[in-house]
Amino acid sequence: MLEVQEHRQAGVPWSAGYRVECLADGPSFLDVEAEWNRLVDEAAVEHPFLRHEWLRVWWDCFGEGNRLAVVLVRANGRLVAAAPLMSNGARMCGLRARRLQTIYNVHTPRLGLIVAPGHEGAYRAVWRHIAERDDWDVLELNQLPEGSPTLDRITELAAADGFPCERWSSGDAPYVPLRGSWADYFEGLAAKHRSNLRNRLKRLSKIGDVELETVSEPGPALEAALQDGLRIEAAGWKGEEGTAIRCEDDIRGFYSRYAQAAARRDLLRLQFLVVGGTRIAFAYSIVHAGKLFLLKTGYDPEYSKYSPFNVLLRKVLEDCFDSGLDEFEFLGVFDRWKESWAELARPHCWAYVFAKTPTARLIRGAKFGVIPKVKQILGVPESDGAKASGG
């Protein structure tokens, strides 16, 4: 069912020329794929997690228990803004809440609204649609990067209408700007790190030729490579702890289906460290807008003394420089092992907007009032936030 709401009230600046639609079912969302991705390109979104194929595969694999509430904004029939939202029931601070949120779980590193240049008024159109709904207590906008217009515009509009807003830090995602040459970057790494990399590469070379293999084209060969990569990822501690992709059917289905979808658009890069013809380390990466995004990693523990993933990462970064990419994104949070490679990180946060309901007031008071004070008294450190992907 496609729900359509018109917002063309005379004399109201935000509504002039805009038509708002809410897509409430999968087929309706599937129908807008071409214009959705065109909008992503027009808006110069710098990551792939708002592209239609990512969101569609996510919904097919993880959407159970949620209801689509995707908001589209059109001007003269042309799609100029989109908000990938869903609604669900959630327990927040011990209370049952009606939540409206971005299409998100821990596998999604970055999100936001998509707005074409020259259509700032579309933010107000989206917000007014949300404000006029009576089926939510909390609006939760997940994984917004620092400087996201979504973060500022939606909270400003909500606050102006008397809706309380809060922000919660969800961690810093490290990245490497690919400026200059690989040689310059490598020489800028810590001396001990460089020495270890040279040593491990030399020792691996005694076993056999050390090569970087990249698989990116759709088809049976890709699926076979992916299954090999998932085997490697599950061979170590992730498999033992049950966090590997292969351990859950929906997670395995998501990464398998998204790999084929991304490969059809030349976005996928399955990268292997190959020694003497044997794959010993694996990276599941996506290329978009001149950046490489590292989604999942793993290595064969039989080769752990050679630091195989660090050697793979060396090869991948060198290839990124040679390919003329602009940035390498580790994603996730700034884990200690990433400090050897990256100095910069991009902060992310979640934005909360609270409806004018008793439940919303109680949740806000608990989450941003009582709970932080109790943690402070008990000396409990603040959480790093939601660890979105990146490993």
Please tell me whether residues 38 and 58 are part of one structural domain: yes
* Segments forming the whole domain that contains residue 76: 2-171+348-378
Q: What is the CATH number of the domain that holds 12?
A: 3.40.630.30
Domain for residue 107, yes or no? Answer: yes
CA distance 349 to 164: 17
Please tell me whether residues 40 and 185 are part of one structural domain: no
C-alpha radius of gyration, the chain, whole number: 23
CA distance 213 to 205: 16
Residues 159, 165, 171, 175, Cα dihedral to 10°: -20
Domain for residue 368, yes or no? Answer: yes
pLDDT band at residue 244, thresholds of 50, 70 and 90?
low
Q: What is the pLDDT of residue 246?
A: 67
Token look-up 């030349």 returns 266
Please tell me whether residues 63 and 8 are part of one structural domain: yes
Asked if residue 43 has pLDDT above 80, the reply is yes
Secondary structure, 3-state, 39-86:
HHHHCCCCCCCCCHHHHHHHHHHHCCCCEECEEEEEECCEEEEEECEE
Q: What is the pLDDT of residue 17?
A: 81
Cβ–Cβ < 8 Å for 157, 327: no
Domain for residue 146, yes or no? Answer: yes
10 Å Cβ neighbour count for 255? 20
Of the chain, the percentage scoring pLDDT greater than 90 comes to 82
Question: Mean pLDDT over residues 368-377, rounded?
Answer: 79
149-160 and 121-132 helices, crossing angle to 10°: 50
pLDDT band at residue 381, thresholds of 50, 70 and 90?
low
pLDDT band at residue 16, thresholds of 50, 70 and 90?
low
Classified as helix, coil or strand, 288 is: strand
Domain for residue 205, yes or no? Answer: yes
Asked if residue 390 has pLDDT above 60, the reply is no
Q: Which residue has the higher pLDDT, 5 or 343?
A: 343
pLDDT band at residue 243, thresholds of 50, 70 and 90?
low
Helix H or strand E segment including 168: strand 165-177
Please tell me whether residues 155 and 186 are part of one structural domain: no
Give 190-213 pLDDT, tens digit per residue: 999 999 999 999 999 999 999 999
Q: What is the pLDDT of residue 234?
A: 85
Please tell me whether residues 247 and 137 are part of one structural domain: no
First-to-last CA distance in the chain? 38
pLDDT band at residue 170, thresholds of 50, 70 and 90?
very high
Please tell me whether residues 163 and 245 are part of one structural domain: no
Q: What is the pLDDT of residue 377?
A: 78
Please tell me whether residues 112 and 150 are part of one structural domain: yes
Q: What is the pLDDT of residue 136?
A: 97
Pairing of strands 70-75, 85-92: unpaired
Q: What is the pTM of this model?
A: 0.90
Domain for residue 339, yes or no? Answer: no
Please tell me whether residues 232 and 300 are part of one structural domain: yes
Number of domains in the chain: 2
Determine the residue type at 199.
Answer: N
Asked if residue 358 has pLDDT above 50, the reply is yes
Asked if residue 11 has pLDDT above 50, the reply is no
Domain for residue 70, yes or no? Answer: yes
Q: What is the pLDDT of residue 9?
A: 32
Please tell me whether residues 187 and 294 are part of one structural domain: yes
Token look-up 């793993």 returns 298
Asked if residue 163 has pLDDT above 70, the reply is yes
Pairing of strands 85-92, 327-329: unpaired
Residues 155, 159, 162, 164, Cα dihedral to 10°: 60
Please tell me whether residues 129 and 190 are part of one structural domain: no
Question: Mean pLDDT over residues 60-72, rounded?
Answer: 96
Nearest alpha-carbon partner for 316 in 231, 215, 213, 247: 213
Cβ–Cβ < 8 Å for 390, 109: yes
Asked if residue 121 has pLDDT above 70, the reply is yes
Nearest alpha-carbon partner for 69 in 33, 142, 20, 106: 20
Average pLDDT across the chain, whole number: 90
Q: What is the pLDDT of residue 383?
A: 53
User: Which residues face 204 on adjacent strands?
Assistant: none
